[in-house]
Structure 1
Amino acid sequence: MSKKEVADDYDRVVVVLNENWRIIECRDRIQWILQRRGSPKKSRKDDWRGKSYCRTAEVLRQRAYEHAGPIDALAVEKLLSLPDRFPEPGSEGDTAAPAEETIG
């Protein structure tokens, strides 16, 4: 598992929305990041790039529905189950699923 947010095997993936969009916990564990695979404006297309940085689940869901296109039904369930706010540092509200449980 990678510690790099741009890696496919980043260890803090919360949910994969579809083949080009996912949500992760940032490496500093202060917010969720809606990421898109690659960048249409840059030559590197295989890594993940941040699109929105959110501390509330409501805003995260709005951005996901606005940008990601069709979202897998299981991913929608996961989005709806997130806590209202990103857990404060040191709290027990870890939102990232272990790799074998990542939806996608």
Structure 2
Amino acid sequence: MNASVPIRLDHRESSDTYCAEIIRSGRWRIIEGSCGIQWVLQYQARCGGPDTARWEGKHFCRTRDALVRLWHQFTGQDGALVEALLPERFAKGGYNGSA
């Protein structure tokens, strides 16, 4: 019998299992910042071996348009999914899954 092991969500923004991740593509992802005031575009930097990889904040945005531009610039994706997932502006209280 195979029992699934639950993933433990972490509250550190640098963690691979950060609890407020919104979208990920390769070594780029968007999260809700831990202070609840902005979205953060992060890059997964490797600091040695694969077990030492950590996420680093590269850009901090309060508007969806700015985030979509950066997402396209760094991932090559058009940003349609980001537009569908996020409201026009970051609202206090953060991401709620509806635009």
Q: 1:4 aligns with which of 7, 12, 23?
A: 12
Q: Distance in 1 between matches of 2:71 and 2:80?
A: 13
Fraction of identical pairs, as percent: 29
- SS of residue paired to 2:65: helix
Question: Which protein has greater RCO, CA pairs closer than 8 Å, 6+ apart?
Answer: 1
Equivalent in the alignment of 1:28: 35
Aligned length: 85
- SS of residue paired to 1:48: strand
Equivalent in the alignment of 2:91: 87
Q: What one-letter code is carried by the residue in structure 2 that aligns with 1:35?
A: Q
Q: Distance in 2 between matches of 1:96 and 1:34?
A: 18
Q: How big is the alpha-carbon RMSD for the aligned residues of Structure 1 and Structure 2?
A: 2.0
Equivalent in the alignment of 1:14: 22
- Structure 1 regions of 5+ residues with no counterpart? 98-104
Q: What one-letter code is carried by the residue in structure 2 that aligns with 1:78?
A: L
> Structure 1 residue 64 and structure 2 residue 64: aligned?
no
Q: Distance in 2 between matches of 1:6 and 1:54?
A: 17
The ranges of structure 1 where at least 4 consecutive aligned residues each deviate by more than 3 angstroms after the TM superposition are none
Structure 1 residues 67-91: Cα deviation after superposition (integer angstroms, max 9, x where no partner): 123x4x8xx44301210000124xx
- The CA deviation at 1:52 is 0.6
- The CA deviation at 1:96 is 6.0
Q: What one-letter code is carried by the residue in structure 2 that aligns with 1:29?
A: G
Q: Greater CA radius of gyration, 1 or 2?
A: 2
